[in-house]
């Protein structure tokens, strides 16, 4: 290393700098930190990076898609001559803006919405390319339509208010209280999961085995499924006839409510607490052939390789008619085991390591800034757009949240990425 060795290289030290690793910041193209922070987190999710680079290697001249742009970006980082620096994800951002209208502007966006879009969209691209050929009868190959087939996973969240509160207020103010999800929604999770319009909980097939649908050629899981997809099982007990029905749902990430001075384990426990469905949220019991009060519980049946947890920090407050950031202190450990697993869970003992955290800095969903911290070869790094810094593991505590003044501006963990230790 010569005289132009960067500060970061000096801090890490030349003999400790991980071989074949590159720490490159991403240039901001006008409020694109929501994308930069998520891309860095994903780059350091090893199984994901490997699959994206493999895709790049296998597809020499692909049709330009968001996935090909992502693959080019990852490849470009991974093959830099320098160990540290910054790179401009221009092609990716241009493609993103072309792909989805909501992102086609210079406004701050919700990083979780972006992550959700990206993962689902990449999955659709892979499926579409797999079924390429006009005779396949798969008419849903236009990625980005938002509508997904029955096998697609999405964000899994618990309460019916979530479908609104998880979104950026750009798009949600209008739909809040008026969306199809909230009209007598029997099962909010289903309506969130299955955007194609199937709102009836009972029509969702119970999935067995590998957790994918049954629609022919598409039933093979993609590598996106293999990495991010888990299965939730919800058990509903009708309080009239006592019949228990259970239903499995795929998810790519879990959304949890945040409570003051708690931990992520607490949030997950609350996620799986028994919930009573009553008044206008009654359950349609097939046995009673009517809407009945019921008790419902959601637990994890298949634990994903990468567990993405979204902390619902943007709450819609009716009295303000907008989303408010909740900066509650929620501790997230470096090691995590799930306790809200079902009795028949496939792999309930998976031990997870914290790999990356997307952090929201600021006071509201449309204000502020996103950064990310990632773990790489035992080092913790902070990516703030084009800047990269080494941080101590103890610094992570600074991103748990605030114990008081919770509406104050804060730097808080927003999306957590846990990687299963058994995946190599």
CB-nearer residue toward Zn ion: 285 or 373: 285
C-alpha 306/C-alpha 153 separation (Å) is: 14
Shortest gap between Cβ of 187 and Zn ion (angstroms)? 15
167 backbone dihedrals φ, ψ, rounded to 5°: -100, 160
C-alpha 264/C-alpha 281 separation (Å) is: 27
Stretch that binds Zn ion, among 183-191, 212-220, 291-299, 379-387 (CB under 5 A): 291-299
Tokens of 55: 């895709």
Residue of 69, 267, 369, 423 marked active site: 369
C-alpha 189/C-alpha 253 separation (Å) is: 12
Element (H, E) at 11: helix 7-12
Whole-number Cα distances in Å, 107 to 217, 220, 283, 365: 39, 38, 40, 11
Is residue 240 at the binding interface for Zn ion, with CB under 5 A as the rule? yes
User: Between β-strands 322-325 and 330-331, what pairing exists: parallel, antiparallel or unpaired?
Assistant: unpaired
Residue written as tokens 């209208």?
101
C-alpha 7/C-alpha 419 separation (Å) is: 29
Is residue 7 at the binding interface for Zn ion, with CB under 5 A as the rule? no
- Tell me, by CB under 5 A, how many residues bind Zn ion: 7
Task: List the one residue from 26, 96, 186, 238 that touches Zn ion (CB under 5 A).
Answer: 238
Stretch that binds Zn ion, among 29-37, 101-109, 277-285, 352-360 (CB under 5 A): 277-285
Task: List the one residue from 12, 199, 285, 402 that touches Zn ion (CB under 5 A).
Answer: 285
Q: Are 41 and 48 in contact (CB under 8 A)?
A: no
Binding residues among 170-229 for Zn ion as defined by CB under 5 A: none
Task: List the one residue from 287, 321, 395, 403 that touches Zn ion (CB under 5 A).
Answer: 287
Shortest gap between Cβ of 193 and Zn ion (angstroms)? 23
Q: At what angle do helices 90-99 and 66-78 cross, to 10 degrees?
A: 170
CB-nearer residue toward Zn ion: 203 or 219: 203
Residue of 22, 33, 267, 323 marked active site: 33
Q: Are 168 and 315 in contact (CB under 8 A)?
A: no
**Known active-site residue 369:** yes
Is residue 239 at the binding interface for Zn ion, with CB under 5 A as the rule? no
Stretch that binds Zn ion, among 100-108, 172-180, 235-243, 275-283 (CB under 5 A): 235-243
> Which residues in this chain contact Zn ion in the complex, by CB under 5 A?
238, 240-241, 285, 287-288, 292
Question: Active-site residues: which are they?
Answer: 33, 369
């Amino acid at each position: 290393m010569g005289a132009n060795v960067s500060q970061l290289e000096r801090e890490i030290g030349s003999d400790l700098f991980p071989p074949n690793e590159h720490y490159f910041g991403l240039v901001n193209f006008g409020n694109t930190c929501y994308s930069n922070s998520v891309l860095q987190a994903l780059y350091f999710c090893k199984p994901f990076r490997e699959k994206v680079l493999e895709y790049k290697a296998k597809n020499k001249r692909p049709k330009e898609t968001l996935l090909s742009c992502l693959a080019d970006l990852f490849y470009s980082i991974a093959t830099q001559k320098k160990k540290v620096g910054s790179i401009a994800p221009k092609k990716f951002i241009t493609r993103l803006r072309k792909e989805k209208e909501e992102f086609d502007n210079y406004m701050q966006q919700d990083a979780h919405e972006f992550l959700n879009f990206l993962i689902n969209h990449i999955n659709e691209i892979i499926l579409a390319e797999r079924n390429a050929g006009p005779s396949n009868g798969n008419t849903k190959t236009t990625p980005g339509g938002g509508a997904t087939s029955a096998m697609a996973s999405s964000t899994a969240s618990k309460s019916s208010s979530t479908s609104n509160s998880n979104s950026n207020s750009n798009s949600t103010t209008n739909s809040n209280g008026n969306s199809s999800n909230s009209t007598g929604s029997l099962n909010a999770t289903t309506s969130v999961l299955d955007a194609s319009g199937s709102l009836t909980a009972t029509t969702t097939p119970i999935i067995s085995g590998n957790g994918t649908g049954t629609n022919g050629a598409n039933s093979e899981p993609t590598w996106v499924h293999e990495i991010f997809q888990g299965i939730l099982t919800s058990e509903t007990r009708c309080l009239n006839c006592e019949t228990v029905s259970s239903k499995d749902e795929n998810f790519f990430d879990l959304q949890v409510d945040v409570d003051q001075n708690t931990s992520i384990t607490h949030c997950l426990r609350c996620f799986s607490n028994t919930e009573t469905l009553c008044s206008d949220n009654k359950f349609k019991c097939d046995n009673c052939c009517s809407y009945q009060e019921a008790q419902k519980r959601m637990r994890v049946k298949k634990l994903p390789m990468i567990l993405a947890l979204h902390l619902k920090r943007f709450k819609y407050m009716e009295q303000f008619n907008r989303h408010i950031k909740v900066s509650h202190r929620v501790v997230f450990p470096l090691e995590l085991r799930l306790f809200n697993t079902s009795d028949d869970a496939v792999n309930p003992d998976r031990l997870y390591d914290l790999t990356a955290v997307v952090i929201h800095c600021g006071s509201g969903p449309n204000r502020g800034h996103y950064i990310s911290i990632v773990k790489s070869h035992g080092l913790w790094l902070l990516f703030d757009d084009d800047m990269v810094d080494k941080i101590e593991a103890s610094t992570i505590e600074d991103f748990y949240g605030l114990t008081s003044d919770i509406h104050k501006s804060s730097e808080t963990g927003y999306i957590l990425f846990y990687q299963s230790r058994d995946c190599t």
